[in-house]
Chain A
């Protein structure tokens, strides 16, 4: 007689408690979903869900507050670091993070980002760089590559008239208030795991009150790049990473 033991059941993949049970509005192949999940896993693992406050940007991640199961505020375009400063100064015991795209942080909000960093605010900023304005439909970002075609640089970014792209992690790493500034990518599993480690260090840095922490994540925008999701992942590797080298720019 053949006896079959019931197979032992393990949960191998589940939704982090820090993510809500709603579908996101992100396009197929967009890496925002990956970044959200990594942040949520880190919040769970650090056991800080009940003392975390997030600040959402304006841009594709404007609805981040719908997806994270933590207290959240939705800032005006570029002002998340100022808003986060106000929240953190009132609640120093809270863990406050901003989640911002490249137009939000590197263009309209560069003053707020630089000064929050310069003051050494105990904040964690997750910076999503996909080299384009996503929500408004694919315009040139301060991070768009030289020659990159966008709807507002239809012949390609001409650096003679538009200037060179900003490398925010390198810029912020020069400030004494910044104690953690790294760049990672979300284009394949290996890099995603490395990104998660960096996000965790950035949150731990804040919990230990060590100053401003910054994680730049190279991300995708297949919709506005005019690529398929898998082509977009390749584009990150072939085009973005050579211009925005991955690495630790400051770890104190």
Chain B
């Protein structure tokens, strides 16, 4: 393996393929289209399934079918397309079949624009479709991390029989960075899965349905879903902390905004401020205990997002009123720059000092 200069979309596609992707179904939408294009070439070369669907609705329900068939399956899209997939995501979650979704977020709402944004944190993290299911949501901040998380996503999806979302944005998807791709994995047979549909040869028939007709049955299913989420929450929290040991102030951001915040944190350190940086990688489950543990040492926290304030709610929940939380965000596809984040840090520090005096 070697380091190469590779674009985010291509890197995610190739990592998925090397993780043993059996079947991809997708629909073109900017800024994720190169992902689909890469697989359009690579999947048939390897004798695997690639299909450009008639719509995102078609694509997600093809994924649903392929997932029930036991395949390692995936789709990718961007914000408006993901809205169309919300229906299928709910059914897939309710059927306990594994799949991976890559959401390359863009400016919104509506048709919005094709510039990078993080305006779909609520949508993905809180469950895009109806019914209160929870997907695992992973947010990379570098092309290398996107590769590593995508490679791991399929194992996670199959282990828990759940949806795993790689939540990224147009910056990372369109950016080229030096990164290393993982080795090509041996693929398992979809038929070998003890739950998959393949035809009831020499066994009892299997059924996938999301119908729970009696309210009691429905309640029992939701409880089971909750138990699964508890296990996921206990085992799958991921986050990165930098310079937090002596930090009095904390910058929090995920994905691209996390990277911008990291630059701002380093600039703040250079200016003599005791600022640390915390970046959740798993947005669901949220690394709440890890964030909460920092509370006693902090005088203030600044959340940086490429939206009008969404993840900030989970930060406030984690701190439970014990740390003042302020916000800096750019919206509509505008990417914040470290200088303006640094200014926001300085405002936070100064206003807290004034309050103390």
Distance between B162 CB and nearest chain A CB, rounded to angstroms = 18
Distance between B69 CB and nearest chain A CB, rounded to angstroms = 4
A72-B208, A74-B208, A76-B61 known; A90 and B190 CB under 8 Å? yes
Chain B: which residue is nearest A72 at the CB level? B207
Q: How extensive is the interface on chain A, given as a class?
A: 35 or more
Which residues on the A side are within 8 Å of B69 (C-beta)?
Answer: 53, 86-87, 90-91
Inter-chain contact B200/A70, CB cutoff 8 Å: yes
- Taking CB atoms and an 8 Å cut-off, the chain B residues in 29-86 that contact chain A are 49, 51, 53-55, 57-59, 61-71, 73
Does B209 touch A at the CB level, under 8 Å?
yes
Q: CB-defined interface of B181-202 with A at 8 Å, one 1/0 digit per residue?
A: 0000000001100000111111
Chain A: which residue is nearest B208 at the CB level? A73
Chain A: which residue is nearest B53 at the CB level? A82
Residue tally, chain B, CB below 8 Å to A: 41
Inter-chain contact B209/A115, CB cutoff 8 Å: no
Distance between A15 CB and nearest chain B CB, rounded to angstroms = 15
Which residues on the B side are within 8 Å of A95 (C-beta)?
Answer: 199
A82-B61, A82-B62, A91-B69 known; A76 and B199 CB under 8 Å? no
A89-B62, A90-B190 known; A70 and B87 CB under 8 Å? no
Which residues on the B side are within 8 Å of A115 (C-beta)?
Answer: 53-54, 58
Does B179 touch A at the CB level, under 8 Å?
no
Which residues on the B side are within 8 Å of A197 (C-beta)?
Answer: none
Does B276 touch A at the CB level, under 8 Å?
no
Q: CB-defined interface of A45-81 with B at 8 Å, one 1/0 digit per residue?
A: 0000111110110000011010011111111100100
Which residues on the A side are within 8 Å of B71 (C-beta)?
Answer: 86, 90
Q: Which of these, B88, B191, B202, B206, contacts A79 with CB under 8 Å? A: B88
Inter-chain contact B207/A86, CB cutoff 8 Å: no
Q: List 28 A-B contacts (CB under 8 A).
A: A50-B201, A52-B199, A53-B198, A53-B199, A71-B197, A71-B207, A72-B207, A74-B209, A76-B91, A79-B61, A79-B64, A79-B87, A82-B57, A82-B59, A82-B64, A83-B62, A86-B64, A86-B68, A89-B23, A89-B49, A89-B51, A90-B49, A91-B69, A91-B191, A91-B198, A91-B199, A95-B199, A112-B57
Closest 8 A-B residue pairs measured CB to CB?
A86-B65, A82-B61, A51-B199, A86-B66, A74-B209, A115-B54, A90-B69, A83-B65
Interface residues of A (CB under 8 A from B): 49-53, 55-56, 62-63, 65, 68-76, 79, 82-91, 94-95, 111-112, 114-115
